[in-house]
Amino acid sequence: MTGMVEKKGWGLWLTHVGLLAGIIIICYPLYIALIASTVTQADLVTPPMPLLPGGHFLENYRAALFSGMSTPVWKMMANSLVMALGITIGKISISLISAYAIVYFRFPLRSFFFWLIFLTLMLPVEVRIVPTYEVVAGMHLLNSYSGLILPLVASATATFLFRQLFMTIPDELVEAARVDGAGPIRFFFDILLPLSRTNIAALFVILFIYGWNQYLWPLLITTDPVMNTIVMGIKQMLPSGDQTVEWPVIMATAILAMVPPVAVVIGMRNLFVKGLIESEK
Amino acid sequence: MEKRVFFRNKWLPYLLVAPQIAVTLVFFFWPAGEAVYQSVFMPDPFGLKTRYVGLANFQFLFTDPYYRNSFATTALFSSLVTTISMSVALWLAVLADRVGKKAGRYTTLLIWPYAVAPAIAGVLWMFLFMPSIGVLARALGHFGYTWNHALNGGQAMFLVVIASAWKQISYNFLFFLAGLQSIPRSLIEAAAIDGASFTRRFWTIVFPLLSPTTFFLLVVNVVYAFFETFGVIHTITGGGPQQSTSILVYKVFSDGFVSQDLGSSAAQSVVLLLLVSGLTIIQFRFIERRVQY
């Protein structure tokens, strides 16, 4: 039986039309970018803009991937992948173990450390740009993967999430582990980690997108084009002033920059929604 | 909240928190301390030495018309982004909720922009509005309206607002949809039996019950507009024309890296630090209240 507030007939039809209109507005920029990445520069310059994909898909994507403008796009994508995975794995590992210490141990500086981690929420990289750059430059980490990854791997959100999760795990499991003679390290690997699997996966999806989409930080510290990530590298391709640029190649690059994170969201939709909603609790 | 059972070990817990604490101290607290420290110093005209100037950097900052303008720009930008992305998302979530279980098919097509980087969102929208080749810029031209966001400050603001709001719709949509689905069906059906129209049911029952979600999203969206839209602005306008899209975060960057005005940039960092702290406190106080529900 359907509830009596669900619409039927015209009302339902209008609801679907409304949703479709929303989808068209949301997807329009992507559609135009896709078209532009399959035509020639001449097709774009002379109006009207083509409404269907052209036949230059391979040519444009090959030009982007293997020559790009200053750095080939495959190289920038590889840099982005290293950075995104480094940030994701780094954040998850150090947050798992620090949440473990805070929940399962009593030690003098426990609440001090907890507050220290909490306060990082108030210090996003955008507000401490110049001094953080100076610290990283002083450590000779400019143009290195460590420089791209390390300053971004602290995570208050992930630590809270794991703390929350550990609090719901029954104490009997610790007692049972003790009876069996398992120490804290065995308990962590044999019991806690398997129990956290789904949460780790959901967080992985969110953090991978976060890592891949970093812009300001790589912009500051990768002065060598070979170390550019794709999300910031595309800025170097954009025209400054009246200079002419190959728009089909730029749009192909934009599409390539979107593919990995969008594929993750679509391919793991349920984990993504879980991760998104939980990491904001 | 405390665990009743715990492990006893003198050094292991320190070893476990060490990586997180090390990163936190080196890359968060040290630079933040540097910002506070630099904000009370000023380099001499030759750039050889710095001297203590107290709050002079802040005084300069708040008498600087460009900085005061940047505050106004940020306020306008973030309220537009928040209003547009939240209202479109709420509208779509209400429609999806009405469709019921079958809405799943639509959801994927509405949530993918979450995964698009702000800078890439900037490139997509800039391409649509390029004065020479952009589809929408040309369409506007047909109606006799000249579009050039590189010259017109209002148009530049419009463009960065649209690109930023577009990206945030998916996030708001998911949270609104979850909020709508948690409202008891019986409440809405009771009102329907009493003859309340859809619009009336929405404003008297649904919207008030959604208020925790709405308030939470309001804070998240303001934080997003303040701090995470740098990529959109840097790709589309570079803060221009005539600083008309230079929001606070953009100005810290351009004063610190482009103009190398370190004292001012540090003072701006401190101002932003206070803003984030305020927003974080609001967010957490609110979340604590939500737990009591």
Nearest 10 degrees: Cα torsion A104, A109, A111, A112: -140
Judged by CB atoms closer than 8 Å, whether chains meet at B1 and A132 is answered as no
Residue B291 confidence (pLDDT): 38
Segment B83-109 shows an average pLDDT of: 88
Assign 3-class secondary structure to chain B.
CCCCCCECCCCHHHHHHHHHHHHHHHHHHHHHHHHHHHCCEEECCCCCCEEECCCHHHHHHHHCHHHHHHHHHHHHHHHHHHHHHHHHHHHHHHHHHHHHHHHHHHHHHHHHHHHCCHHHHHHHHHHHCCCCCCHHHHHHHHCCCCCCCCCCHHHHHHHHHHHHHHHHHHHHHHHHHHHHHCCCHHHHHHHHHCCCCHHHHHHHHHHHHCHHHHHHHHHHHHHHHHHHCHHHHHHHCCCCCCCCCCCHHHHHHHHHHHCCCHHHHHHHHHHHHHHHHHHHHHHHHHHHHHHHC
In the predicted structure, residue B160 carries a pLDDT above the cut 90: yes
Residue of chain B whose Cα is closest to the Cα of A220: B257
Q: Which residues pair with B52 in a beta bridge?
A: B41
In the predicted structure, residue B99 carries a pLDDT above the cut 90: no
In the predicted structure, residue B48 carries a pLDDT above the cut 80: no
- CA R_g for chain B: 24
Segment A247-259 shows an average pLDDT of: 94
CA distances from B222 to A9, B80, B209 (A): 39, 10, 22
Q: Are B269 and B275 in contact (CB under 8 A)?
A: no
Q: Are A37 and A57 in contact (CB under 8 A)?
A: yes
**Could you give the CA distance from residue B106 to residue B108 in angstroms, rounded to a whole number?**
6
Assess A242–B contact: CB distance below 8 Å, yes or no.
Answer: no
CATH 1.10.3720.10 fits B58-292, yes or no: yes
* Other CB atoms within 10 A of residue B97 CB: 17
User: Which one, of A232, A154, A159, A225, lies nearest residue B31 by Cα?
Assistant: A154
- Among the residue ranges A74-78, A147-151, A241-245, B227-231, the one predicted with the least confidence is A241-245
- Between A and B, how many CB-CB pairs are < 8 A? 295
Assess A14–B contact: CB distance below 8 Å, yes or no.
Answer: no
Residue A2 confidence (pLDDT): 44
User: Which one, of A252, A249, A268, lies nearest residue A198 by Cα?
Assistant: A268
> In terms of pLDDT, which residue wins out, A26 or A3?
A26
Q: In the numeric block, which tokens belong to residue B247?
A: 């929001």
**Could you give the CA distance from residue B52 to residue B37 in angstroms, rounded to a whole number?**
10
- Among the residue ranges A122-126, A235-239, B9-13, the one predicted with the least confidence is A122-126
Q: In the numeric block, which tokens belong to residue A208?
A: 């991978």
Look up residue B69 and give its amino acid. Answer: N
CATH 1.10.3720.10 fits A70-278, yes or no: yes
Judged by CB atoms closer than 8 Å, whether chains meet at A33 and B28 is answered as no
- Interface confidence, given as ipTM, is 0.90
Backbone dihedral region for residue B111 (phi beyond 0: left; psi -120 to 50: alpha; all else: beta): alpha
Segment A229-248 shows an average pLDDT of: 84
Domain ranges of chain A: 11-55, 70-278
First to last CA, chain A: 34
Residue B23 confidence (pLDDT): 93
Task: Show residues of chain A in contact with B132, CB under 8 Å.
Answer: 45
Residue of chain A whose Cα is closest to the Cα of B217: A280
Judged by CB atoms closer than 8 Å, whether chains meet at A250 and B29 is answered as no
Judged by CB atoms closer than 8 Å, whether chains meet at A234 and B96 is answered as no
Q: Are B39 and B58 in contact (CB under 8 A)?
A: yes
Segment B70-93 shows an average pLDDT of: 95
pLDDT (tens digit, 9 = 90+) per residue, B171-213? 999 999 999 988 888 888 888 888 888 888 888 889 999 988 8
pLDDT (tens digit, 9 = 90+) per residue, B255-282? 888 777 778 888 888 898 888 888 888 8
Tokens 């990529």: give the residue.
B231
Please list, residue by residue across A182-200, b when 16 or more beta carbons sit within 10 angstroms of its beta carbon and e when fewer do: bebeebbeebbeeebeebb
**Could you give the CA distance from residue B23 to residue B63 in angstroms, rounded to a whole number?**
37
From the centroid of its chain, how far is CA A113?
27
| pLDDT above 70: percentage of residues in chain B | 95
In the predicted structure, residue B288 carries a pLDDT above the cut 60: no
Best mutation target among A31, A116, A128 (most B Cβ atoms within 10 Å) is: A128
Task: Show residues of chain B in contact with A261, CB under 8 Å.
Answer: 115-117
Judged by CB atoms closer than 8 Å, whether chains meet at B120 and A234 is answered as yes
**Could you give the CA distance from residue A189 to residue A167 in angstroms, rounded to a whole number?**
17
Q: What is the mean pLDDT of chain B?
A: 87
User: Which one, of A43, A83, A55, lies nearest residue A213 by Cα?
Assistant: A83
Q: Which of residues 166-225 of A touch B (CB under 8 A)?
A: 166-167, 171, 174-175, 183-185, 187, 209, 212-213, 215-216, 219-220
Assign 3-class secondary structure to chain A.
CCCCCCCCCHHHHHHHHHHHHHHHHHHHHHHHHHHHCCCCHHHHHCCCCCCCCCCCHHHHHHHHHHCCCCCCHHHHHHHHHHHHHHHHHHHHHHHHHHHHHHHHECCCCHHHHHHHHHHHHHCCHHHCHHHHHHHHHHCCCCCCHHHHHHHHCCCHHHHHHHHHHHHCCCHHHHHHHHHCCCCHHHHHHHHHHHHCHHHHHHHHHHHHHHHHCCCHHHHHHCCCHHHCCHHHHHHHHCCCCCCCCCHHHHHHHHHHHHHHHHHHHHHCHHHHHHHHHHCCC
Task: Show residues of chain B in contact with A103, CB under 8 Å.
Answer: 3
> In terms of pLDDT, which residue wins out, A52 or B16?
B16
In the predicted structure, residue B170 carries a pLDDT above the cut 80: yes
Judged by CB atoms closer than 8 Å, whether chains meet at A213 and B117 is answered as yes
Please tell me the distance in Å from B192's CA to the nearest CA on chain A: 7
Task: Show residues of chain B in contact with A19, CB under 8 Å.
Answer: 92, 95-96, 99, 103, 106
CA distances from A224 to A73, A85, A233, B72, B265 (A): 15, 21, 11, 36, 25
Partner-chain residue, chosen from B16, B112, B119, that has the shortest CB–CB distance to A97: B16
Please tell me the distance in Å from A99's CA to the nearest CA on chain B: 8
Partner-chain residue, chosen from B116, B125, B235, that has the shortest CB–CB distance to A235: B235
Best mutation target among B29, B85, B123 (most A Cβ atoms within 10 Å) is: B123
pLDDT (tens digit, 9 = 90+) per residue, A78-100? 999 999 999 999 999 999 999 99
